[in-house]
Structure 1
Amino acid sequence: MSQLVEKTPSPRTRKSIYNDLKELGVKKGMTIIVHTSLSSLGWVNGGAVTVIQALMDAVTEEGTIVMPSQTVEISDPAEWENPPVPEEWWEEIRETMPVYHPDYTPANFMGKVPEVFRTFPGIERSSHPSYSFTAWGKDKKHILADQSLEWSLGEESPLRKLYDQGAHVLLLGAGFDSCTAFHLAEYRVEYQDVITKGAPMIEDGERIWKEYKELEFRDELFEDLGADFVKTHSLSAGNVGSAKSYLFEVKEAVDYAEMWLNLYDRRKSESL
């Protein structure tokens, strides 16, 4: 018997997960950006498929489900650290790296639920080669349209549209280090470290290596940021299956993150 089965008091099913989502506050017609840790839910009968079906049951086609489907491996090998590759490989990797395609490029490092969600009927995906999103439901086309190449998680990204639309973040067993919405705040703070990134793309029928400007993201701060967010705000919290889960507004999270990051940077500057 697996450890996951041993730790699960009863099977998690489409109906039980749906009931837990409704108890947490997920409603028909809601727009949610979802981050999941499938194993945290306990033993789920049907795995990722069941979780996705329960989410769709909860928001219905009158709502919208969004998930990050990032492909960070489509990037300059000079940046790679986990693991790095020899410098003498870099040029050949750039020349032969497959171009991102929304239909079949896998989201290799996002977990089981986002990768399975990507393949569901009715799913659409945004165009960014490294920082794409997938979506299902009423407003999917609007949310995914016109994501900019530069500043990919900023003011011309699905995150800004979720912010403006009154969407919610749903963390299903995932930590605040997974809260992609916090990145939007990074474009609104005083301190910004701008870097150059690259990816293969097709322009005018030709494959080229395209460079673009981006921020050096500071995901390593998000757990502490999230812990303070929980302490200072009344979030909807509860268990979905066995997973500690949170539901909160994108706008509330981004506004708090902007304040928190500015304060963090000022304190760091004063301590130098």
Structure 2
Amino acid sequence: MRDLLRTLTPDFLLTLYRKYKKEKVRKNLADKAKRGDVITTKVLIDQLKCMGIKQGDSVLVHSAMSRMGCLENGPRTLIDALLDVVGSNGNILMPTSPNPALQLDYVRQHPHFDARNDPSAMGAITEYFRKMPGTIRSLSPTEPVNALGPLAEWLTEGHRGRLTPYDSYSPFFRLTEVRGKILYVGVTLAQAGTSLHLLEDAVEKFPYPVYYFEVFNVKVTDLKGETYQQQIKVHNPAQSAKRQCDALIPMFVEKSVMQRVQLGEAPTLLADAAGMFRVMLEAYMTKGITMYTPYGRD
């Protein structure tokens, strides 16, 4: 229903509404800061440990900072907490896509991705993380990921030159190979369902047209400043409009590969990356369940 309302609402009204919501959130956070109602790194460390994140873990983090409450030191508060909990042997990953909207529109308007300079459109925490010394950014023009930790290079290197960003070389798939975890902080699969696309690339002859018919040639400037060309596929907007990502959450929870937790003030989902992928494959093979058909075949 929410997606339908968005399609029926004029763009200028959506822009005004989003501006109103952002201002309301900003004022609320400012009021909390004045009262000293802040969330510290220590609070987040305790919450992360309580939910089961531990030393040596590899964690992909999707986040909406505005949902977390007033963080004492802004984005740094969460990142410091994550680094403390996973330790020097752990890895942190964050999506840093420069694309805030449809992939098709983005590549038509921005046929050149500069991994060094293009900012993340995935929120303030991801942009802070992208700029941190030591993080490595993958080279997907539409779905780059930044990583920090001993496996950062291996986790990100497979994105270079790939036709799609969700195949078995991608950071999203490699996370499953190291038994990694996914945190959805203040967001759900509807806003951050990137890992759901693993199913589409893993299944031969996937039955739905998830990719647009046209293959695009784009330029990529890597972290050394060298530029090359590659081909990429982008999502088909008509099929993307049929996604019902959040309808899959009960299945993941029931299968014990996802749990509902809290981080700061944000309702949060914590998923076992490999378990989530396994459940998706099993559900598809046995019942035809996908993000487009969350209740199975017709």
- TM-score bucket of the superposed structures, by smaller chain: 0.7 to 0.9
Distance 1:184 1:48, change over 3 A: same
- TM-score normalised by length of structure 2: 0.73
Matching residue's letter, 1:2: K
Any conservation in 2 of the 1:41–1:242 contact (CA below 8 Å)? yes
**1:43 counterpart residue number:** 70
Identity of aligned residues (%): 22
1:186/1:258 contact within 8 Å kept: no
Q: Which residue is equivalent to 1:54?
A: 81
Matches within 5 A, 1:126-205: 126-147=138-159, 148-177=161-190, 178-189=192-203, 190-193=206-209, 194-195=211-212, 196-198=214-216, 200-201=218-219
What do the CA deviations read for 1:10-66 (whole angstroms, capped 9, x no partner)? Answer: 410111111111111111110011111111111111111111111111111210001
Against the structure 1 CA distance between its residues 269 and 158, is the aligned structure 2 distance closer, same or farther, given a 3 Å change threshold? closer
Find the residue that maps to 1:54 and give its secondary structure: helix
Q: In structure 2, how many angstroms separate the alpha carbons of the residues matched to 1:61 and 1:118?
A: 18
Listed as ranges, the gaps of 5+ residues in structure 1 are: 82-89
Q: Quick check: 2:139–2:220 contact (8 Å CA) kept in 1?
A: no
CA shift for structure 1 position 209: 7.0
CA distance in 2, matches of 1:9, 1:32: 30
Distance of aligned partners of 1:209 and 1:174 in 2 relative to their CA distance in 1, 3 Å threshold: same
> Retained in 1: the 8 A contact 2:255–2:279?
no
State the AA in 1 paired with 2:134.
G
Structure 2 unaligned blocks of 5 or more: 1-25
- CA shift for structure 1 position 215: 5.1
The letter of the residue matching 2:197 is H
SS at match of 1:106: coil
> Helix, strand or coil for the counterpart of 2:85?
helix
User: Whose RCO is larger (CA < 8 A, sep 6+)?
Assistant: 1
Q: Is the 8 A contact 1:200 1:207 kept in 2?
A: no
Question: Please, what is the CA RMSD of the aligned residues?
Answer: 3.3
Judged with a 3 Å threshold, the aligned counterparts in structure 2 of structure 1 residues 266 and 117 are, in CA distance, closer, same or farther, namely closer
Over residues 65-118 of structure 1, what are the superposed CA-to-partner deviations in whole Å (9 max), with x where a residue is unaligned?
Answer: 011111237998xx329xxxxxxxx7xx5xxx473222211112x111111110
The one of 27, 47, 57 equivalent to 1:20 is 47
Kindly tell me the number of residue pairs found equivalent between the two proteins. 254
Matches within 5 A, 1:80-91: 80=105
Q: Residues 86-125 of structure 1: matches in 2 within 5 Å?
A: 93=109, 97=110, 99-108=112-121, 110-125=122-137
Q: 1:123 to 1:234 in 2, by over 3 A?
A: closer
CA spacing shift, 1:80–1:215, aligned 2, 3 Å: closer
Kindly indicate whether residue 264 of structure 2 is the aligned counterpart of residue 251 of structure 1. no
Which shows bigger deviation, 122-131 or 181-190? 181-190
* Segment of structure 1 superposing worse, 23-32 or 190-199: 190-199
Change (3 A) 1:74 1:124: farther
Distance 1:214 1:3, change over 3 A: closer
Name the CA distance, whole Å, in 1 between partners of 2:296 and 2:184. Answer: 32
C-alpha distance in 1, partners of 2:94/2:127? 9
Going from structure 1 to structure 2, the CA distance change for 1:150 and 1:74 (only over 3 Å counts) comes to farther
Separation of aligned partners in 2, 1:27 and 1:134? 20
Distance 1:175 1:254 in 2: 16
Contact 1:28 1:62 in 2 (8 A): yes
Quick check: 1:32–1:168 contact (8 Å CA) kept in 2?
Answer: yes
Equivalents in 2 of 1:206, 1:47: separation in Å? 33
Q: Which residue of 2 aligns with 1:87?
A: none
> Does structure 1 conserve the Cα–Cα contact (< 8 Å) formed by 2:248 and 2:294?
no
Deviations 1:188-207 (A, max 9, x none): 3432423234353169x997
